């Protein structure tokens, strides 16, 4: 994830069928994040990387459009509209409950990864005309992925 300059990765992206994702927004200076625990502002960096399991979200901010990319779709970027802030309830990697409110990039990244755990991709949230413009590139990525998976399956069959 970090090697590819990503800020989140869901279990589904590595073929693991769990309601689990990891977020790490440290080092992203041009898109700040906010976080509150028990109504008090905290530094999100102190809670990174963050594993969230069985996450539930409640939108708390007005819709906001901003840029997104996805490690599953290298070099594809689009403006996506999401709530600017969310309330998060989940479990951490130790099974302990976590509850916080967040905004900025952290809120966007959590919503993006949450979508993965519910079979929604960021291309599903693109404006129709944007997706149409990107369709040739999306088709190319789809073909490459199918070839790669077929090659892996053939290698395992030997």
**CATH number where 85 lies:** 3.90.45.10
Whether 141 is in a domain gets the answer yes
User: Same domain, yes or no, for 27 and 105?
Assistant: yes
Tally of domains in the chain: 2
> pLDDT digits over 14-40, tens only?
989 999 999 999 988 889 999 999 999
Which pLDDT score is estimated for 154?
76
Q: Distance between CA atoms of 139 and 95, rounded to whole angstroms?
A: 39
Against a cut of 0.85, is the pTM above it?
yes
Q: Which structural domain, as residue segments, surrounds residue 149? A: 128-158
User: Same domain, yes or no, for 63 and 133?
Assistant: no
Which pLDDT score is estimated for 150?
83
- Per annotation, catalytic residue among 3, 36, 75, 113: 113
Which pLDDT score is estimated for 41?
98
User: Same domain, yes or no, for 52 and 83?
Assistant: yes
- Distances in Å between the Cα of 24 and the Cα atoms of 109, 124, 145 are 9, 23, 26
In the annotation, is 46 catalytic? no
DSSP for 41-103, please give it. Answer: EE-GGGG-SEEEEEEEEEE-S-EEEEEEEETTEEEEEEEEEEESEEEEEEE-TTS-EEEEEEE
User: Same domain, yes or no, for 26 and 57?
Assistant: yes
User: Same domain, yes or no, for 71 and 120?
Assistant: yes
């Amino acid at each position: 994830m970090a090697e590819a300059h990503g800020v989140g990765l869901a279990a589904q992206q590595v073929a693991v069928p769990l309601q689990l994702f990891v977020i790490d927004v440290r080092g992203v200076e041009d898109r700040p994040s906010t976080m509150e625990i028990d109504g008090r502002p905290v530094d999100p960096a102190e809670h990174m990387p963050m594993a969230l399991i069985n996450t539930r979200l409640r939108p708390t901010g007005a819709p906001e459009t901003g840029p997104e990319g996805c490690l599953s779709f290298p070099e594809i970027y689009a403006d996506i509209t999401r709530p600017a802030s969310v309330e998060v309830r989940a479990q951490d990697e130790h099974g302990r409950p976590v509850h916080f409110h967040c905004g900025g990039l952290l809120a966007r990244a959590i919503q993006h990864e949450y979508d993965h755990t519910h079979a929604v991709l960021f291309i599903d949230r693109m404006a129709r005309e944007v997706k149409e413009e990107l369709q040739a590139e999306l088709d190319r990525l789809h073909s490459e992925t199918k070839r790669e998976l077929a090659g892996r399956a053939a290698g395992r069959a030997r």
